[in-house]
Structure 1
Amino acid sequence: MSTTARTTATPAASSPAAKTAKKAPAAKPAARPATKAPAARAPRTPARTVKPRADLESLPVRPGEDPWTAEEIAEVEGDLRAEVDRLRADVASADQALGDLLRDAGTGAGDDQADTSSKNFEREHEMSIVNNARDMLVQSERALARIAAGTYGVCESCGEGVGKARLQVFPRATLCKDCKEKQERR
């Protein structure tokens, strides 16, 4: 018998306690702290300075509108960044409230049907708020990405200009007025 065979065949090495001791370090995965997705954090997004870019003239505008200026883009970008920060905080607090509601989802001993229905309504309402805030956060982040890519203001349907005035009022807009009207008629 070889030396490796003797060491594995010894009673001490084949005892259940020895097997558990060998497996215990490998069986324990590294403990990760329970954290939420990026929506759980609410750090302030650092403001970028908009440098005068030559591609500002290439951002589409509707007929009769003046071209975008660096100050206008900086203002829209600043508003979007502030909105992203606010929405991240909203999503984090709504996630917390939703988690509390889900923990208390069971029916209590003294709850009647009205109490249970009220809890269900409150939970569904909170879920709706969280989903709306997440959708707006995604739209705002996409608008910031379009600004960075130089495609801000291009209609995603027809490729024409969304409209400078429309984007200054609703900076997350991705469709021009005509395409949005067509979409709403469907």
Structure 2
Amino acid sequence: MAEAPKTAEPTGPRRSESETRELREALTERLEELEAERETHIADMAAAQRERLADSAGDDQVDAGSKTVEHEQELTVVRSITDRINQMHRALERLEVGDYGICEKCGKPIPAARLAVFPSATLCVDCKQLEESR
């Protein structure tokens, strides 16, 4: 007889259902804020691009270069927000499997103070410092 596949046991701290629900709500709320922020930036960026195109008659190389730099800065902001959105999705996935709040490198709990400031943290302070020193 074939053995039933084993489900992975959560490795993170045991949380009550209400703690997990509160965390999920907080992470989801932050995710929604980031998504709204990204949409606002995208809309602003589109409006600025339309304005730059309409106002480009007679531009010299410096004007064109300035507009390109502005556009690149706007894209950088949107990419940064998108990265944070992806991190929040990852945090929600980790919460569902029970790994939220556990360092991905050393397996130790990530301090609650760090998670309060950076809810999508995947590394404890020590491992993050090690990573940044490289």
TM-score range relative to shorter protein: 0.7 to 0.9
Aligned equivalents of 1:147, 1:179: Cα separation in 2: 20
* Corresponding residue of 1:90: 37
* Corresponding residue of 1:148: 96
Aligned equivalents of 2:97, 2:58: Cα separation in 1: 57
- Of 124, 129, 132, 1:181 maps to 129
Aligned equivalents of 2:33, 2:122: Cα separation in 1: 21
Letter in 1 for 2:36: A
- Of 167, 170, 176, 2:115 maps to 167
Larger Rg: 1
- Of 119, 123, 140, 2:67 maps to 119
* Corresponding residue of 1:132: 80
Aligned equivalents of 2:56, 2:38: Cα separation in 1: 28
Given that 1:97 and 1:126 are in contact with CA atoms closer than 8 Å, whether structure 2 keeps it comes out as no
Structure number with the bigger relative contact order (C-alpha 8 A, sep ≥ 6) is 2
Please report how far the alpha carbon of residue 106 of structure 1 lies from its aligned counterpart in structure 2 after TM superposition: 9.1
Q: 112-121 or 94-103, which moves further after superposition?
A: 94-103
Change over 3 Å in CA distance of 1:70–1:98 after alignment to 2:
same
Kindly tell me the number of residue pairs found equivalent between the two proteins: 125
* Corresponding residue of 1:59: 12
Please report how far the alpha carbon of residue 110 of structure 1 lies from its aligned counterpart in structure 2 after TM superposition: 1.1
Given that 1:154 and 1:161 are in contact with CA atoms closer than 8 Å, whether structure 2 keeps it comes out as yes
* Corresponding residue of 1:12: none
Q: Which has the higher helix share?
A: 2
Listed as ranges, the gaps of 5+ residues in structure 1 are: 1-54, 61-66
* TM-superposition CA deviations, 1:36-65 (whole Å, max 9, x none): xxxxxxxxxxxxxxxxxxx99x634xxxxx
CA RMSD of aligned residues (A): 2.6
Change over 3 Å in CA distance of 1:59–1:123 after alignment to 2:
same
Change over 3 Å in CA distance of 1:74–1:169 after alignment to 2:
farther
Aligned equivalents of 1:148, 1:137: Cα separation in 2: 17
Aligned equivalents of 2:57, 2:116: Cα separation in 1: 54
Listed as ranges, the gaps of 5+ residues in structure 2 are: 1-8
Q: TM-score normalised to the size of structure 1? A: 0.57
Q: TM-score normalised to the size of structure 2? A: 0.76
